[in-house]
Structure 1
Amino acid sequence: MGASHDNVIGLILAVSSSVFIGSSYIVKKLGLKKAADNGNRAATGGHSYLCEPWWWAGMITMIGGEIANFAAYAFAPALLVTPLGALSIIFSSVLAHFILKEKLHMFGVLGCVLCVVGSTTIVLHAPHERAISSVKEVWHLATEPGFIVYMFIVVVVVTVLIVRCVRNHGQGHMLVYIGICSLTGSMTVMSVKAVGIALKLTFEGSNQFIYFQTWFFTIVVVGCCLLQINYLNKALDAYNTAVVSPVYYVMFTSFTIIASIIMFKDWATQDASQIATELCGFVTILSGTFLLHKTKDMGTKPSEATVYSSPQLPKDTRTHETIQI
């Protein structure tokens, strides 16, 4: 990573974003748990959490983190900003351990460390971002055949997950909710990057809001964010926060980097050794997430290993054995 002024600003914004977002998971979960005692749970389609101040506090915190993250993309490349989301894993896991009493085993701590090590490896070997002078350039990149194919696949998979899988498998397979959030998130980041560039260029004196492409990307950002918020709420309500955070991070980061590679052709300027190092970073992150998931219930009592039940659901649908990814 270069020591340019823009990169420093992007780094500070990305770290601040991780702190805010990591905290928001905990605060929102407190609101969702309180809402479960007073009405239908979010995981079963209830919206009583909208009346909980704790949930709104978490929502405001997450919005603050997303704004910082949004700004970071305007100053630094996506392959630098996105992996720094690993810091939110550490922050949310530690807070979940002390505040929500969700046990984090020592091997879970090691898993978090591996996530950070892998992210650091990617950051140190990330390619330089291509210079873009107009939002029209981003539009041209987004309408090339390779990225159009990627967008088509994302839309088809997300549609199938929402229409066919959420109702039947959402309560037993976390990847249904997380998959929707992650795939949609990759499209969000590409659009956020476009809007961020448009804002930055506009502040520099070149108005980008006279082009319809800027408004199109803005609409995509809003729509994708609303979809992510809805299904992230369901995932947080149904599953352990210490597991949701890292799995969501790994999938979101992976799909985002894939989208960035296809759209901005980041690997075109790198040699084989640099690409191999970045792939090793991905493997390290995946290893840390796998370790965290497999050890999440070690050292807990049997009654503590289950997800809290709800009167609206049969008990046998909320046991540890049925919750798989």
Structure 2
Amino acid sequence: MWWAGFATMSAGEVANFGAYAFAPATVVTPLGALSVLISAIFSSYCLGESLNLLGKLGCVICMAGSTVMVIHAPKEEKVSTVVEMASKMKDTGFIIFAVLLVVSCLILIFIVAPRYGQRNILIYIIICSVIGSFSVTAVKGLGVTIRNFFQGLPVVRHPLPYILSLILGLSIIIQVNFLNRALDIFNTSLVFPIYYVFFTTVVVASSIVLFKEWFTMSAVDIVGTLSGFVTIILGVFMLHAFKDLDINQISLPHTHKSTTPTPAPEPTVIKLEDKNVLVDNIELASTPSPQQKPKVFMIHS
């Protein structure tokens, strides 16, 4: 049944691709937590894996945070053609931001990772998150390209789709490589929540710089979006970090006090045999006087 898994995974990636093409990345990326939620639910019912009480609460918290984020979703600046996308990527602010990400990623890969990657869980995860931000930007641009292609625009002659395809291929290879390294060394229940937090943060920051998504938002929408994002983070953390604990409704403390008194423990009787030990540590060289008496120690045990 490998083909079924391949088909469903391919369909999910196509849907994810379409979501990035028609919706702001600030909304699509955090909503990726719903895939974690659905995977946990299907694993519980189809594969017989246990989903404890904290896991169920984590699923509910993820749904609540996702709802809050959708309500306060930012309205991105309209990018409808490949030419507009190329103009956005030529912006000075985005070029500086991209160069900083590339330089920091190269330092982590060639200097920091060989020394501390085996001991620090954040090294490989930060590399995956930084590279993942470029893959999201590439997917966003390719989505616009495909949409223009079906509209009859001459996108085949433009160099941007080919550049974005190269960026997407390289970023996916590097991202999968370092993510597998992290999973081989560290606990999976810690890798995925931390990776989700860093990946979403870098993608949202990149989207803000590239598309100016938050510049037209009110203070209420900004606070609501951040609150929804933090809520999703807490839900994902509860779902993964405590999945191996045996916690259910039966193990919770009872609301009523117990009316039956607890019986007092019976006293423990220890029987010891009496032994007398006579210790005479004074030797008399002469006949003792009536005032002097030998010192005798009697020890009872």
The verdict on a shared fold, with TM-score over 0.5 as the criterion, is yes
1:175 aligned residue (115, 122, 127): 122
1:88 is displaced (CA, Å) by: 1.4
Report if the CA contact (8 A) 1:96-1:242 is conserved: no
Distance 1:297 1:165, change over 3 A: farther
Aligned length: 247
Q: Distance in 2 between matches of 1:173 and 1:100?
A: 33
> 1:231 & 1:153 partners in 2: Cα distance?
20
Residue 94 of structure 2 is aligned to residue 125 of structure 1: no
Matched, 1:272 2:240: no
Deviations along 1:159-193, one digit per CA (max 9) or x if unpaired, are 22222333343344332222221111111111111
Hey, what's the Cα distance between the residues in 2 that align with 1:111 and 1:147?
35
Q: Would the alpha carbon gap of residues 106 and 237 (structure 1) be closer, same or farther in structure 2, given more than 3 Å must change? A: farther
- Which residue, out of 178, 183, 205, partners 1:236? 183
Structure 1 residue ranges without an equivalent (≥5): 1-52, 301-325
| Equivalent residue number for residue 222 of structure 1 | 169
**Which segments of 5 or more consecutive residues in structure 2 lack a partner in the other structure?**
248-301
1:148 match: 95
Bigger radius of gyration, 1 or 2? 2
Distance 2:11 2:223 in 1: 35
Aligned to 2:24: 77
Q: Following the alignment from structure 2 to structure 1, what is the Cα–Cα distance between the partners of residues 112 and 63?
A: 32
Pair 1:63–1:232, CA change in 2 (3 A) = farther
* Residue 262 (structure 1) aligned with residue 209 (structure 2): yes
The structure-2 alpha-carbon separation of the partners of 1:203 and 1:194, relative to structure 1 and needing over 3 Å to count, comes to same
Give TM-score scaled by structure 1 length. Answer: 0.66
Instruction: Normalising by structure 2, report the TM-score.
Output: 0.71
Question: Deviations along 1:193-214, whole A, 9 cap, x unmatched?
Answer: 1111011011111121211122
- 2-structure distance, mates of 1:79, 1:67: 19
Q: Which residue of 2 aligns with 1:282?
A: 229
Residues 169, 107 of structure 1: alpha-carbon distance in 2 compared, 3 angstrom cutoff: farther
In 1, the alpha carbon distance for the partners of 2:47 and 2:185 equals 14
Q: CA RMSD in A?
A: 2.9
How do residues 293-308 of structure 1 correspond to structure 2 at under 5 angstroms? 294-299=241-246
Q: Is the 8 A contact 1:243 1:292 kept in 2?
A: no
Q: 1:1-325 to 2 correspondence within 5 Å?
A: 62-94=9-41, 105-292=52-239, 294-299=241-246
Name the structure where helix makes up a greater proportion of residues: 1
Deviation at 1:241, TM superposition (A): 3.9
Q: 1:70 Cα deviation (Å)?
A: 1.3
1:309 is aligned to: none
Measured after TM superposition, the shift of residue 270 of structure 1 is: 1.1
In the superposition, relative to structure 1, how do residues 167 and 85 fare at CA in structure 2: closer, same or farther (>3 Å)?
Answer: same
Paired letter, 1:189: V
Which structure is higher in RCO with an 8 Å CA cutoff and minimum separation 6?
2
> Does the 8 A contact of 1:84 with 1:119 survive in 2?
yes
